[in-house]
Amino acid sequence: MDIHEYQAKEILARYGVPVPKGGLAYSPEQASYRSTEIGGSGWVVKAQVHSGGRGEAGGVKLCHSDGEVLAAADELFGKRLVTRQAPAGKLVYRVYVEEATDISRELYLGFVLDRASETILIIASGEGGMDIEELAVRAPEAIVRTVVEPAVGITEFQAREIAFGIGLEPGQISDASRVIRRAYQVFTDLDATMLEINPLVATGEGSLLALDAKLSFDDNALFRHPEVAELRDRSQEDSREAHAEDRGLAYVGLDGDIGCMINGAGLAMATMDMIKLAGGEPANFLDIGGGASPDRVLKAFRAVLNDTNVAAMLVNIFAGINRCDWVAEGVVAAYTSLSVTIPVVVRLAGTNVEEGQRIIAESGLPILTADSLAEAARLVVEAKQNAAVPA
């Protein structure tokens, strides 16, 4: 789960990480009022969307008067901000007004889970304000990597070593060490999967500020942090994925037009590969899991068909815990109740497969069946292509 910049900064501030003064606004008038509350002679108006690269897309505007703040916010509200990370665009419903900062230097600080080594990886650089991926290609030697053993936690010497490694002045080392250790505490306390402060800036006076921040959390740990779960903004999420998640389905939306309903993550990945090999493009990853009842199959059908790009659908079930007859009953019920008009291909194997095949065959519905995954992938691609050809 991702959260907005202003939410991430509120969390960091609670842990003692310094952030600029700012305020949230839901209208241009409120944005202008925020600037008077903050005071000063310069402000930055930032679109609050779950995407990086906002500045390049026109989502970050520097203003020098209340009127400029009003005009900048008015331009941003309701705008679909298209960035490299969000090519389809994200609608702007709120903006964050922040005091302008006298920036002397921009740094990068990030925390991620290294699943391969089961440790926390801290990535830092003396060059901030840009994508770390670009920096890794252009100047890999500018990146400092430090592995932290979760059972031990970050030590003072590790934090100071990072601060020295990114070229900070001697007088800034203690402050930087404090920021690193407190940010690490946020990461571990709240079960985050990613924390990025980019840029972490040194001001003209030499102090450090988290000028921008991103936080992502482990969905499976949100039950331990209800205060974090409440920060969720579903308007920034894929509506297909949100619909499926609310119904307990493991779903990831893709860009293709062949819908998939499969049990088991490994089988789902193999199925998508076979669709690609057959010349098609999968529209989603959907694992209905074990013990799929007819009602769960119906919910899965709805989740797939919520994507208006889906032109054909493949159901691939290898039943162990599942039962093929349950799945077949659910497919028949879904096809009828949802008035399905696109081609549907079903491949069943495993527990009660004969009964499942009988239910499909005797339904009288134009459902195509296959005995192997390769055949099912070929059939669904051909069926989609034939359906697209005018009669």
Residue 311: both structure tokens together: 């032109």
User: In this structure, are strands 312-319 and 258-262 parallel, antiparallel, or unpaired?
Assistant: parallel
Rounded to 5°, the CA angle 293-298-299 comes to: 95
Q: Which among 6, 108, 184, 335 is annotated as catalytic?
A: 108
> How would you list the strands of the sheet with 22-25, edge to edge?
22-25, 95-99, 43-47, 60-63
One DSSP character per residue, 3-16 reads --HHHHHHHHHHTT
Does the annotation mark 251 as catalytic? no
306 known member of a binding site: no
- Residue 386's CB: how many other CB atoms inside 10 A? 11
53 known member of a binding site: yes
212 known member of a binding site: yes
Give the Cα separation of 46 and 68 in Å (integer): 13
54 known member of a binding site: yes
Q: Which among 5, 196, 241, 329 is annotated as catalytic?
A: 196
126 known member of a binding site: no
Give the Cα separation of 77 and 24 in Å (integer): 13
Does the annotation mark 96 as catalytic? no
Give the Cα separation of 106 and 130 in Å (integer): 9
171 known member of a binding site: no
Residue 138: both structure tokens together: 């252009």
> Directed axis angle between helix 239-246 and helix 294-305, to 10°?
170
Diameter of the chain measured on Cα atoms: 80
Q: Which residues are annotated as a binding site for ATP?
A: 46, 53-55, 98, 101, 106
Return the active site residues.
108, 196
Q: Which residues are annotated as a binding site for substrate?
A: 263
Q: Which residues are annotated as a binding site?
A: 46, 53-55, 98, 101, 106, 198, 212, 263
